Amino acid sequence: MRHLFCTFLLLFAAAAFAKGEPEADTFLYRISKQGRPVSYLLGTIHVGKRNSTLPADYRRALGRVSQLVVETDEESMSGTEIRRMQQIMADTRPLKTSLGEARIQRLQRILTTGQEPLAFSPDSRTKPWVLWMAAQSMFTPKGYSYRHGIDHLLIQTAKKQQKPVIALEGAEQLDYFDGLPEDAVIRSLDSLVTHHRAFLDETVSLERDYRARRARKIWAEIANPAHQLRFLPEQDHPLWHEFLYQKLLTKRNQTWLPRLIEILPQKPTLVAVGSAHLFGGQGLIVRLRQVGYQVEPVQADIK
């Protein structure tokens, strides 16, 4: 479920997050504190070009640490967590009832045009936000895949190196989505159908800028709500603004910080989370500095 939850987080934020801009065009930062092991903080993107590999400086950073911390790792979820996720996502109604058969047909036509066709059954008894979340995450342009996003590549590499992978959250991630008003979710699905080509183009542009380490450019776009919310119905902008900024970014950063404070003193660690979580007044760079860590940008020529 990590890829169902994370991809679009890099695409959204709010103007209040504008403070704390990137100090350099990099997504990799060195974390240090006297008497503590040196660790790294990495901002990721959750979609990548097919057959792409980890950048060399990311591989070197992973090679210098003893463990990897990520947002979520579905492969390591317990049976209890998986069952809880299934319960949260379940609906008494099939999608053809909650969404309507005409909308289902429109979505099926669009969602099968991506790199990995997102097939779903109209008879599936899942809540509409589950399909919305899957569409936001798995509807990718031709030649791109979440399986080649930085997060996935890091997790697979760490496991091959037999390094522990620690998830900051599990099934509780879905609680954020379960409270979304269904009518707003449905309007967002309709907007995706209308703007699906622009949505895919945005993914391509974002991945290109990320690979070029254009952190300042990406953050300027993230911090501009008029840009980020332009594909969503205007009547729902206040809802999505509060949901994406207050809940998915700020609240999660606040939840993660105590975990990181507990984890970082133990051993050298690479913390890899969506890049939107790094910057801004409530970003992890600022928050880690507030608790006494030095957080310094690392350029791509790290040796």
Token representation of residue 302:
């790290």
According to DSSP, the β-strands at 28-32 and 67-70 are: unpaired
- At residue 151, what is the residue type? D
- Residue 211 falls within a domain, yes or no? yes
| CA pair distance 128, 82, nearest whole angstrom | 19
CA 48 to chain centre: 13
What's the pTM? 0.89
CA distance linking residue 132 with residue 124, whole number of Å? 14
Is the residue at 70 inside a domain? Answer: yes
Q: What is the DSSP letter of 235?
A: G
- Please enumerate in sequence order all residues whose Cβ is within 8 A of that of 133, keeping only pairs 6 or more positions apart, or say none: 4, 5, 177
Neighbours of 79 (CB within 10 A): 7
Instruction: Say how far apart CA 95 and CA 124 lie, in whole Å.
Output: 6
Cα–Cα distance for residue pair 81/92, rounded to 1 Å: 21
Residue 23 belongs to domain spanning: 2-297
Residue 103 forms part of a structural domain: yes
Q: How many domains does the chain have?
A: 1
Write the pLDDT tens digit of every residue in 24-44. 999 999 999 999 999 999 999
123-173 pLDDT, tens digit per residue, is: 999 999 999 988 887 888 889 988 899 999 999 999 999 999 999 998 888
Please give the C-alpha separations between residue 62 and each of 65, 70, 257, in angstroms, as whole numbers: 6, 12, 21
Tell me the average pLDDT across 192-203. 92
Mean pLDDT along residues 107-133: 87
Q: What integer pLDDT is reported at residue 301 of this predicted model?
A: 60
Residue 303 lies in a domain: no
On average, the pLDDT of the chain sits at: 89
Token duo for residue 120: 């779903």
Show the tokens assigned to 138. 């798995």
* Of 244 and 95, more confident: 95
Rounded to whole angstroms, how far apart are CA atoms 3 and 45? Answer: 11
Which among 9, 4, 7 is positioned nearest to 240, based on CA atoms? 9
In a domain, 252, yes or no: yes
Does 302 reside within a domain? no
> Residue 19 above 70 pLDDT?
no
- Around Cβ 174, how many Cβ atoms within 10 Å? 21
**Token pair for residue 78?**
């317990």
pLDDT 10s digits, 200-224: 999 999 999 999 999 999 988 888 8
Average pLDDT over residues 268-294: 96
CB atoms under 10 Å from CB of 155, counted, come to: 23
Q: Which helix (H) or strand (E) holds 136?
A: helix 128-138
